[in-house]
Copies of this chain bind each other. A is one copy, B any other.
């Protein structure tokens, strides 16, 4: 029976509450209440609420940097791409409190702005690298203009899909299914794929619904 450190319990509970209620609606009192510890105790471990947000963001950042380190020389298969999308949506969903009130969060924790933008740029770049890999394999045909627009669209969707999906069921905000997001993303690249791959994607993507 391992005892989890209070510090880590605070982080875990904060993340869960942020995600389900929205970060601005979660007070330090609510966090400590949920953990059955005193507010004072919470402030013994973190000198401010923004320190909690900071540390959660750092985990998010680390996960994303790790995930988005896409090799730009290897040939990526569509299966690998789907898997990548799946991991991406799961990571975003795990930290969805950041995206749900993005403008608000970034304006109140302004030190996160630059770092968030950097992740966004990495994301867009990863999509570009992946699409270029598809192109060089002859699986994708697309003009430069359309490629830029597509990558922008993929990035937008990767950010906001889970928030958009949440709108459909604002009541229970606990569960998020990344499946539909992956489905949408695959359908974005679909028109630019070769005949055979289109059929392949249409089959596999359907399983995500």
Contacts and interface: CB of A to CB of B under 8 A. Distances in A.
Interface of A: 21-22, 24-25, 100-104, 106-108, 113, 116-117, 120, 145-146, 149-150, 152-153, 155-157, 159-161, 163-164, 166-168, 170, 183-184, 187-188, 190-192, 202, 206
* Central interface residue in A101, A108, A157, A161, by most chain B CB within 10 Å: A101
Contacts of A150: 187
Nearest to A170: B113
Given A156-B161, A159-B164, A187-B153, A22 B146 contact: no
Copies of the protein in its oligomer: 2
Nearest to A209: B145
Contact of A100 (B102, B159, B188): B102
A107 B21 contact: yes
Contacts of A117: 167-168
Nearest to A117: B167
User: Interface majority SS on A: helix, strand, loop or mixed?
Assistant: helix
B107 A145 contact: no
A-B residue pairs, 7 tightest by C-beta: A191-B191, A100-B103, A149-B187, A101-B104, A160-B160, A101-B101, A156-B164
Nearest to A202: B145
Contacts of A106: 167, 170
B22 A107 contact: yes
Contact of A153 (B107, B145, B157): B157
B153 A103 contact: no
Nearest to A166: B103
B149 A102 contact: no
Given A25-B108, A146-B190, A191-B192, A102 B153 contact: no
A117 to B, nearest CB: 7
19 contacts: A22-B107, A25-B107, A25-B108, A100-B102, A100-B103, A101-B101, A101-B102, A102-B163, A106-B170, A145-B202, A149-B184, A152-B184, A153-B153, A153-B187, A155-B164, A156-B156, A156-B161, A156-B164, A160-B160
